[in-house]
Amino acid sequence: MAKIEIAKTELVWPGKYNEDGTRKEVERVSLPFQVIETIKEARATREAAKKPKQKTLFDIWEAKEGETFEEGWKNKLIWGENLLVMNSLLENFAGKIDLIYIDPPFATGADFTFTTQIGDSDLEVTKEQSAIEEKAYRDTWGKGTISYLQMISDRLKLMHELLSEKGSIYVHCDWRMNSAVRFILDEIFGQANFINEIIWHYRRWSNVATTFQKMHDNLLFFQKSEKRTFNLLYQEYAHPEWIEETVRGFVDGKLIRLKDEHGNYVKREKENIGVPMHDVWEDINFIGPTSKERISYATQKPESLIGRIISTSTSSGDLIADLFCGSGTTMSAAEKLGRRWIGCDLSRWAIHVSRKRLLEIENCNPFEVLNLGKYERKYWQGVTFGDRKTSDQQLAIYQYLAFILKLYGAEPISGMQHLHGKKGKAVVHVGAVDAPITIDEINACLDECVAIQQKELHVLGWEWEMGLYDLMTDAAKGRGVKLVLLNIPREVMEQQAVDKGDIQFFELAYLEVDVKQEKGKKIMVSLKDFVIPNTELIPEEIRSKIKKWSDYIDYWAIDWDFQNDTFMNGWVTYRTRKDRTLALKSDAHSYEKPGKYTVMVKVVDIFGNDTSQAFEVEVK
């Protein structure tokens, strides 16, 4: 048991202190962000400010934009684990975020499944959480309250560093964790910087119970310093009928309603603005099953609730962050109120739902979708397999290959340059963590397969060179080799998911596209087929509802001039809760000049997974 010197009142839990009694510090690592998609920005705008450089599959975010939209700022939607994301934001955003709102998980045993609609109908099915999301749940609640306190404490420390001196934080919680979280906030921000505990009281259907009905959430409101922004809001009088619109005054010692020279009662010149807002909010409704705002996301909060927080604690152009952004309510409210924003979530589906929601906002400002991508994987490889004493990179690579092969159920083989393992009758190649699988890489593997008379090759990769699928499967077939391409899932980086056996390798989805050229340097793109392999792994409840191949597609977009870097969203269509139809043919796109162009098509399926394919076109 660590010997701890108690100097103040604080909440203590196992693991908070080291054995020597020192406080455990948050692990620090800063990784570059990859820009994987840019939305509502013309390629010409970006290319004009871009210096010549070697092309890569993704752009690296360079943090050279200004702090206003006029200076080139783009809002940011980040897919990733928020502890790593916040660490990586610190380099450029420490002391620069003006408001943080978070709605972290606060229910042990919570159900993180969500409903999604299938195809053209309004039929809803339940999607289970991914292994990554389940791992996050186990990290949060694996040891009950102990692991939750460690999780939230580490993150609140980083949020304190990210906040500006005029900044505020609102932590959304309920009766289960509000007392514990309040202790942690007191410790990190200081008791003197506690402002309010706001009660959001809502009404919903009541059940017969042996306790008082639980019908409120808690919002813990702290400031970074006394320089915080606070715009006073007003609410109506409890009894507005008591408030007279006419002016009273004393005449001959009596209080009467005053009249003008025409005998009319004198009206108040200033409109009654109400009373300063209380800390119990009862005028914002819970999102019900039939609400127009509802997007079938379990933890969705009303936009009016977040909008009130933003209006109170920020000014136009300020920067807001939500590090558990879920369905994107905070970003949507911030966008409509003229604030800049950063949103982050671990769930791929949350990022997809947020992206669609933002696209629905008229005149939405440009935003980009980021992740830590290959840098997170390289960091994981170094931490997991690196030997800090010897720094033997070759040994680390060998251990990485052996680890992936074991998860895939394959045995390592030696004596080959490109083939790393064997599974049944197939040989296996494992891609590097920091580079996409290339056509040349697969050709080298095929050469070795032919040399040793192997008839089946499985290639496992994190990312893939564009246009590879059709070209390489046909080339392999021509050489008498069956080629199977499989994604290495992000879950392999999560030890608890590995221990539980959650790892599944899925084949790449097949996408068939027709690109037609029309008169006047125009082209049009049509989707012709979309096939998800391994359909036996899809729950029967979902499989049985699929009537045609397009039912698997929720969203698709086109980059008309892909430059082998960031996907520039030039045309997009998607299903919404109100309109379930999906166009399978794009609008015609006009090119200014004739020439050869790469058209990139991105499809997002009903599970939130991306499939991209590139096509070469010549415009005459």
For the stretch 126-185, pLDDT in tens is: 655 555 555 555 555 566 788 889 999 999 999 999 999 999 999 999 998 899 999 999
3-state secondary structure (DSSP) of residue 395: helix
Residue 110: pLDDT band (50, 70, 90) is very low
Question: Tell me, what DSSP letter sits at residue 29?
Answer: -
pLDDT of residue 123: 65
Residue 57: pLDDT band (50, 70, 90) is low
- CA dihedral 569→575→576→580, nearest 10 degrees, is 160
CA distance 461 to 57: 14
- Work out whether strand 34-39 and strand 59-60 pair parallel, antiparallel, or are unpaired: antiparallel
pLDDT of residue 43: 44
The average pLDDT across 294-299 equals 80
The average pLDDT across 106-122 equals 61
Cα 226 to Cα 188, 222, 231, 388: the distances in Å are 15, 10, 14, 45
56-70, 174-188, 367-381, 406-420: lowest mean pLDDT where? 56-70
pLDDT of residue 265: 76
The average pLDDT across 236-247 equals 66
The average pLDDT across 216-233 equals 97
Question: Tell me, what DSSP letter sits at residue 455?
Answer: -
Is residue 332 over pLDDT 90? yes
pLDDT of residue 443: 94
Is residue 67 over pLDDT 50? yes
pLDDT of residue 615: 86
Mean pLDDT taken over the chain = 86
Residue 61: pLDDT band (50, 70, 90) is confident
Selected residue with higher pLDDT from 175 and 1: 175
Percent of the chain with pLDDT over 90: 52
pLDDT of residue 211: 86
Selected residue with higher pLDDT from 89 and 52: 89
- CA dihedral 310→115→346→409, nearest 10 degrees, is 180
CA distance 96 to 569: 29
Residue 111: pLDDT band (50, 70, 90) is very low
Is residue 595 over pLDDT 80? yes
Amino acid residing at 508: L
Percent of the chain with pLDDT over 70: 87
Selected residue with higher pLDDT from 521 and 536: 521
The average pLDDT across 554-565 equals 90
Is residue 54 over pLDDT 50? no
Residues 6 or more apart from 90 whose CB is under 8 A from it?
30, 158, 161, 162
Residue 53: pLDDT band (50, 70, 90) is very low
75-79, 150-154, 311-315, 374-378: lowest mean pLDDT where? 374-378
Is residue 6 over pLDDT 90? no
CA distance 552 to 604: 9
Q: What per-residue string of b and e applies to 198-233 under the rule 16 or more CB within 10 Å gives b?
A: bebebeeeeeeeeeeeeeebbbbbbbbeeebbeeee
The average pLDDT across 527-547 equals 83
User: What is the phi/psi pair of residue 69, to 5°?
Assistant: -65, -35
Residue 305: pLDDT band (50, 70, 90) is very high
Residue 425: pLDDT band (50, 70, 90) is very high
Structure tokens at 293: 């705002």
Selected residue with higher pLDDT from 358 and 135: 358
pLDDT of residue 191: 95
14-23, 189-198, 382-391: lowest mean pLDDT where? 382-391
The average pLDDT across 120-130 equals 63
Is residue 390 over pLDDT 70? no
Residue 186: pLDDT band (50, 70, 90) is very high
Q: What per-residue string of b and e applies to 304-338 under the rule 16 or more CB within 10 Å gives b?
A: ebbbbbbebbbeeebbbbbbbbbbbbbbbbbbebe
The average pLDDT across 251-264 equals 80
Residue 420: pLDDT band (50, 70, 90) is very high
pLDDT of residue 494: 76
Sorted by where each starts, the structural domains of the chain and their CATH numbers stand as: 75-232+300-365 (3.40.50.150), 377-506 (3.40.1350)
Maximum average pLDDT range among 488-492, 498-502, 551-555: 551-555
Is residue 109 over pLDDT 80? no
246-260, 378-392, 543-557: lowest mean pLDDT where? 378-392
Residue 251: pLDDT band (50, 70, 90) is confident
Is residue 205 over pLDDT 90? no
Selected residue with higher pLDDT from 437 and 504: 437
131-145, 212-226, 302-316, 419-433: lowest mean pLDDT where? 131-145
Residue 274: pLDDT band (50, 70, 90) is confident
326, 350 in Cβ contact below 8 A? yes
Maximum average pLDDT range among 13-22, 25-34, 453-462: 453-462
pLDDT of residue 536: 74
Selected residue with higher pLDDT from 451 and 382: 451
Selected residue with higher pLDDT from 270 and 222: 222
